[in-house]
Amino acid sequence: MTQAKSRGARRSKVAGKSEQAVRYRVKKQAAGERVRTAPNGLEALLSEYEYAAITGESVSTARMNRLLGKGCPFVKLGALVRYRPDDIRAYIEQNLRPTTTAAPVPASMPGAIDSVNVSGGAAA
């Protein structure tokens, strides 16, 4: 019984350290610093936890988006899922909207508005 408790305590300590490491790396990356490189000079791939921390979505949302074929492109290496930093940047840029009205409204959507009239009068 005591061995099981000590193993659980070790796991939580390791999980806490890795969580701190992810936050530290994300903070450095947000500051524009180069975080790490692979031995061959390539930029290292990011885990789904690092991706979630950067984008602000949960890991389960990232997994669901992968399952549905939505979201950021990813790399599958065996059982590992990794994200390229350039793909994450491109995905964020692709979803950049200057205003809330900049996103197109699908015409097939019930009650879709053809044009928005800011002055308050009827749309032409």
CA distance 50 to 83: 9
Averaged pLDDT for residues 49-66? 94
pLDDT in tens, 59-108: 999 999 999 999 999 999 999 999 999 999 999 999 888 877 756 656 56
pLDDT at 35: 56
CB 43 within 8 A of CB 85: yes
Sheet of 46-47, strand order: 46-47, 80-83, 75-77
Where do runs of H (alpha helix) occur along the chain?
Answer: 2-30, 48-55, 59-68, 85-94
Bigger pLDDT: 25 or 99? 99
- Spatial neighbors of 82 by CB under 8 A, at least 6 apart, are 45, 46, 47, 48, 74, 75, 76
Provide the mean pLDDT of the chain: 73
